Each structure stands twice: as C-alpha cells, then as structure tokens.
Amino acid sequence: MSSRWVVPEDEVAFRYMASGGPGGQHANRSNTKVEAVFRIDESRSMPDFLKQRVGAKLGEVIRVTVDDERSQFRNRQLALERIQERVDRAARVERPRRATKPTRGSQRRRLDTKRQRGDVKRQRRRPGLDD
C-alpha cells in the first residue's frame, strides 16, 4: 500500500525519563528514555474506517517505551517508527484462508512415512515366542 496513513507527530504525547542501567553520570542525569502515547480515539487526522480497524486490534491507546539509544532525539524517532509499524500491521487486511484438499501424492507420502515409522518401531520390539 503506497499511500499509507502516517502518524502525525503532534498527535503523539511524549514523556521523558532517566534511563536505567550502567553508564555513569550521563545515564544518571539525562532523560533519554522516551515513552510515546498515541490515542487512536482522539486522533483528528486518522480516517474513521482506520480508527475502527486499528482500534479493534490494538485498543484505544498505543503506548511505546524506548531506551535503546543514548540520544533522546533518536529514541523519540524510534518510538514514532514503532507506533507507525503497529498501526500499519493492524491496518493490513489479511485475505481469508481458503481450505484445500491434500493432493494424492502428499497423502501417499504421509502414509508411506507412517508405515516406515511403524516398521522401525516393530523391529525394536523384544522377540516373541514365534520369532
């Protein structure tokens, strides 16, 4: 789908917090961790049919937390990309699966392998009185 809907940055709420873990003063003092929240029900630019489709699959709120990079700006970009990926995945209409019959060859191969497996198990048995 080439003309896909793009999540507008002004409809995403961002919160910044200190990222945990090792890293010295930079990690302890910098608010590089980003939490991005996109509310589908409050979006002004998303078409109604898309709101219904995405909302049914993901719910009313998409929340993403990113602390992959040391840069707040880069984490913010990653958060927007992840929200966009989720919306795109939820908006995709999948074709219904059409059931098909197994071919005669595949049925024959399946039964042959079952027979071979049975032969292997039969050979493992302890010999009886008549053997």
The domains found in the chain, sorted by start residue, are 9-91 (3.30.160.20)
**Residues with Cβ < 8 Å from 21, sequence gap 6 or more?**
27
Strand partners, 16: 34
* pLDDT tens string 35-75: 999 999 999 999 999 999 999 999 999 999 998 888 899 99
Residue 26 has pLDDT above 60, yes or no: yes
Give counts: helices (H), strands (E), the chain.
4, 3
d(CA 64, CA 84): 11
Minimum mean pLDDT range among 3-7, 14-18, 47-51, 88-92: 3-7
d(CA 1, CA 96): 18
Residue 1 has pLDDT above 50, yes or no: no
